[in-house]
Structure 1
């Protein structure tokens, strides 16, 4: 009820408390206020007793790093062990108020949950609903775009690393570590740029969502880069991220603004960039020996304009076994990190132009 209360009043001023009934005593009112504050602040954790509580904790650990499909499988397997704490409760509604587990329960999964016999009751078990997350990276090129209205995204993967290691590898100076997710569906796409007011105008720090792939790569993904594509001052963070092994950086721009489509890939290992290319329209800039399986001319041979990004993404996912969790990214489940600048400072004799817009009465 607290989650629904906050959702229904998101755009307005919330009342101090919401009405539960005429026989609510002071003790229940205090408990309600505490729960409402936890849900509002994103600190609520659904933690029932028994086997279902243990399953909820295991599912949260999977979902917090992006594997919402595995999280739901854990919850689904444990549903028969859930017992209602009172006669009027038909389902474990506390799941919906948890900022990490709530988004795991999609509408289709909620219907499956309601149709599943619980607490030792007999009845047919419903067919499992399909997992919503597509495999690999091809879905990044989906139309309509998964990160609409943005036409650009950039991602970093580090092989064999845990997500908690990314702040030390690529975090901004003075980084305190990962920050908690917002738990709101659309908050991931509205980063707000006030945090860069004290930065030099050429700097380009990314606000990334951080998680882990099933193949053992930590990842960081920015769905709304401040700049639409890698430019003249861009320096890939792959080398810094690869101090302990391999790192891959990908930056794609779909050219919906009328400019050329841009696709950048860079790969580094043990602190050294191995190879990179930036494809702008049909022009390619390379450094290092790009493997034939990733060579853009070879990958795009005979490919139509609408499938170029999808084919490039397929080549990258197949070469390294990379993936990203669409559901966790779109729902804002993942923790955040602000990285160091993806741009270098202009060198002597290099010009850098920027525009400042001031508003006033």
Structure 2
């Protein structure tokens, strides 16, 4: 059922004829090999792959590959030349060497690949139950697959445990755990990232990498981190490479390219400010946020939403045009000066909590609810910004500043006009005539950028870019920021009339 064709009309530079393998039963086009020798080398690899699981299958090639695999394992723990170790493990895996795929998938997973490892061992094996399986479930859910096929391949007892694990990951309540000091650092980092301090969270994880403890000889990386709904987005492929380049595990602290906390890991992150919201790469035209000083995120969410916090949401999960209604929640976080660890119990006078959302309902300047006043009650300060812009239309930019539950000043740029302050005098640094000299008609969003930079500098406030764009933050349903129309205000109503059903026989 398989034919091999040597083609004298397809000759390489060495004068060798190409070989085509045609499997009549497959319905596919023939596979081309550069030469008969190339075909035989491929079959040699396939032969080893088919027999690699046999403990009695030992020859010079298998011994050399096993030695290479062990060198790659130790070099991986020592943080040495990640790409070389990936190549060595890939070669051993192609030849079917035991352990090769188990090690290879750990490296490629940390580097951003989505590959499964489904081998021997039940969920009582921590490498399977706490590392491989959570990552596989999280990857499937992220890809929109809500019924992972490999769950059905587990033992009956493990299926129930795996299903419960899947529910935790789906509900975003799963928390990655690890033994020893590294596990303690993971707990601390999760609390930092939960409220928006993703840079601090990464530094906490990175500083503890040397104390990471493997579950066994074939455990070389904490891949289960990627399944954590809070910490997973923090460990980008670039940072995954950093994990693999850091010596970790007992007795390896002195080897490797560099240790955790080396150059390139600043002691403190530079604040992102606010002007990054205008970055064209964001491709977002509407957003709003409230920053409140001295409140914890939970306190701020309570004032603006009145309900309990929702599970962590990503940016995509709060976009109303992504299959979610206009009632999608706002996200909550903590940032600002004095924020050493983004705790929920923020001491008053230190840091600013925020509520943020992209893609909001249309801005209506005279019907904005007093969200800033609510956020600043009890002696605090708050800053509110609402920006809306579509394609080349004039920008609508609304700003207000409140203290102790009272609005002190505000300005609104909308429809090509600048509205004067409705309360106190606006400081010179925030004068809309200087920030928006063309009343918001600029095509490059220059006025918006200047306004955001001025607000950031005046109040010393910032929003965490990575956490908002790529991370997951607790969410809160604040309800509409637009009040219903009052007496004498216009309403636009749509009424749909359905024609009556025709009479029978007509």
Query: TM-score if structure 1 supplies the norm length?
Result: 0.84
CA distance in 1, matches of 2:236, 2:182: 19
Instruction: Give unpaired runs (5+ residues) of structure 1.
Output: 197-205
Match of 2:75 in 1: none
Residue number among 151, 161, 184 corresponding to 1:54 in the alignment: 184
The aligned runs of 1:335-350 (5 Å cut-off) are 335-350=474-489
The verdict on how the C-alpha distance between 1:36 and 1:235 changes in structure 2, with shifts beyond 3 A counting, is closer
Match of 1:212 in 2: 334
CA distance in 2, matches of 1:13, 1:55: 31
Does residue 154 (structure 1) correspond to residue 154 (structure 2)? The answer is no
- 1:187 deviates by 1.7
Decide whether the 8 Å contact of 1:169 with 1:241 is kept in 2: yes
Aligned length, in residue pairs:
338
Match of 1:314 in 2: 453
Residue number among 411, 429, 434 corresponding to 1:293 in the alignment: 429
Decide whether the 8 Å contact of 1:170 with 1:339 is kept in 2: yes
The secondary structure found in structure 1 opposite 2:291 is strand
- 1:299 deviates by 3.0
Instruction: Give unpaired runs (5+ residues) of structure 2.
Output: 1-132, 338-350, 499-506
Does residue 4 (structure 1) correspond to residue 136 (structure 2)? The answer is yes
Query: TM-score if structure 2 supplies the norm length?
Result: 0.61
Match of 1:140 in 2: 277
Q: Structure 1 stretch 28-37 or stretch 211-220: which is displaced more?
A: 28-37
Residue number among 87, 100, 105 corresponding to 2:217 in the alignment: 87
Decide whether the 8 Å contact of 2:289 with 2:386 is kept in 1: yes
The verdict on how the C-alpha distance between 1:358 and 1:93 changes in structure 2, with shifts beyond 3 A counting, is farther
Q: Please state which structure has a larger fraction of its residues in helix.
A: 2
Does residue 276 (structure 1) correspond to residue 410 (structure 2)? The answer is yes
Does residue 179 (structure 1) correspond to residue 310 (structure 2)? The answer is yes
- 1:336 deviates by 0.6
Does residue 330 (structure 1) correspond to residue 469 (structure 2)? The answer is yes
Residue number among 18, 28, 32 corresponding to 2:151 in the alignment: 18
Say which structure, 1 or 2, has more relative contact order (CA 8 Å, 6+ apart).
1
- 1:327 deviates by 1.5
- 1:192 deviates by 5.8
CA distance in 2, matches of 1:81, 1:19: 36
The secondary structure found in structure 2 opposite 1:335 is strand
Match of 1:203 in 2: none
Indicate the structure (1 or 2) with the bigger Cα radius of gyration. 2
CA distance in 2, matches of 1:356, 1:157: 39
Does residue 231 (structure 1) correspond to residue 362 (structure 2)? The answer is no
